[in-house]
Homo-oligomer: A and B are copies of this chain.
Amino acid sequence: MAKRIGRYTLQMEHMPSVQGFASICGKKESEGPLGQYFSKVFSDDLVGEDTWEKAESKFQSEAVDLALEKANVEASDIDFIFAGDLLNQCISSTFGLRNLGIPFIGQYGACSTMAQTLALSSMMVESGMANRCVAVTSSHFCSAERQFRFPLEYGGQRTPTAQWTVTGSGAIVVGNTGESPCISAVTIGKIADLGIKDPNNMGAAMAPAAAETITSFFKDTNTNASNYDLILTGDLGYVGSELLNELLQRDGIDISSIHKDCGLMVYNLKEQDVHAGGSGCGCSAIVLCSVILTKLKNAELNNVLFVATGALMSPTSSQQGESIPGIAHLIHLQSNVSQNSAES
């Protein structure tokens, strides 16, 4: 059984593994630097549906179908599905997945949802209470803009710190088959709120939570940046990434040489006019479920810390003058562990 090491980290013993994964993205994402890695592209943002919300549900159900196919399992083989998204009452997930017949546990972690659903899936498989779980999330530029900011038709001007919500969905089947890559540790984050109030500067609001979770993990595991190939944050973007590095450096922690951010990887920042980078639940989901898991599977990457961050606010809380609480959950992904432990 997973051991609790330090205050916040669970070290897995049975090494739940990624049995299958898939990423579905929109046209703009397919034109970015990671285009070749995505499992499927929907060039029409509506995917033939009559609303963006229904389209986002379609993205999510397609991602799950494809991940199941890649894992070579059926929906009936899955014990629990952990799913969430950014829309009010998480309707992308509930409507997208309602026909699967899988016991459903709805999650809300804002843009940290990919890490949150993957963490819970891993913990359930590790414990033996599930043989297989699915972790899934999505976001959609058009549904997010009209819900969180302005109707697209309004043509509002974007601030320099604004990020661009990714249209896409990522899904992972977590199983107990000992395949590579595996999930070797999980750190669930606490809410951090340093008083930032600008809903167009989410990266800055989320950076303190990322710094706190990374610091907790290093302390709990008695490791540092040199032990990992890559520390991948979710969607801090340009502003949040700088702030994360500053905050950590104040505490004597330097991750700058191995830090990347999904929000900075998914688009060509200048050419694609996305200001501070990509964002949304789908951002870290499609980056993780494409290039990162592929490279871990091929052992081009071996030790990755995936730290997805979420801004736990709503338009209502911002209108009421509240600051933006942030959260970050960390997943330690490793390649080849089962092979290594079989040799030892």
A interface residues with partner B (beta carbon < 8 Å): 1-2, 4, 8, 10, 50-51, 53-54, 79-80, 84, 86-91, 94-95, 97-98, 100-110, 116, 119-120, 123-124, 126-129, 147, 188-191, 193, 312-317, 320, 322, 325, 327
Whether B88 lies near A89 (C-beta < 8 A) is yes
Q: Within the assembled complex, what's the spacing in Å between the Cα atoms of A102 and B54?
A: 35
Chain B residues whose CB sits within 8 angstroms of the CB of A106 once the complex forms: 107-109, 116, 312, 327
Q: Determine if B95 and A325 form an interchain contact, defined as CB atoms under 8 angstroms apart.
A: yes
Contacts of A90 in B (CB 8 A): 108, 312
28 contacts between A and B (CB under 8 A): A1-B129, A4-B79, A8-B103, A10-B129, A50-B320, A54-B320, A86-B89, A88-B89, A88-B314, A89-B110, A89-B312, A89-B314, A90-B108, A91-B312, A91-B316, A91-B317, A94-B325, A98-B312, A102-B190, A103-B188, A105-B107, A105-B116, A105-B119, A106-B116, A108-B108, A126-B127, A126-B129, A127-B127
Neighbouring B residues of A128 by C-beta, 8 Å: 1-2, 127
Beyond A128-B1, A191-B97, whether A84 also contacts B103 by CB under 8 A is no
A36 to B320: give the CA distance in the assembly, Å.
35
Distance (Å) between the CB of A220 and the closest chain B CB?
A: 12
Contacts of A320 in B (CB 8 A): 50-51, 53-54
Given known A-B contacts A94-B312, A124-B123, A312-B89, A188 and B322 have beta carbons under 8 A apart: no
In the complex, which of the residues A10, A89, A90, A124 has the most CB atoms of chain B within 10 Å of its own CB atom? A89
List residues of chain B with CB within 8 A of the CB of A119: 105
A189 to B97, CA, bound (A): 13
With A101-B190, A190-B101 in contact, is A316–B88 under 8 Å at CB?
A: yes
Rounded to whole angstroms, the CA-CA distance of A169 and B44 in the bound complex is: 43
Write out the residue numbers on chain B whose beta carbons fall within 8 Å of the beta carbon of A95: 312, 317, 322, 325
Q: Please give, as numbers and ranges, the residues of chain B lying within 8 Å of A191 by CB-CB distance.
A: 94, 97-98, 100, 104
Question: Top 10 closest A-B pairs, CB basis?
Answer: A127-B127, A94-B312, A89-B314, A103-B188, A106-B108, A98-B191, A88-B88, A108-B108, A98-B325, A88-B314
Give the CA-CA distance A314 to B193 in the complex, in Å.
28
Give A79's nearest chain B residue, CB to CB: B4
**Interfacial chain B residues near A105, Cβ < 8 Å:** 107, 109, 116, 119-120, 188
CB distance from A129 to the nearest CB of B (A): 5
Chain B nearest CB from A121 CB (Å) reads: 12
A129 near B4: Cβ-Cβ < 8 Å: yes
A107 touching B104 in the complex, CB below 8 Å, given contacts A98-B325, A313-B91: no
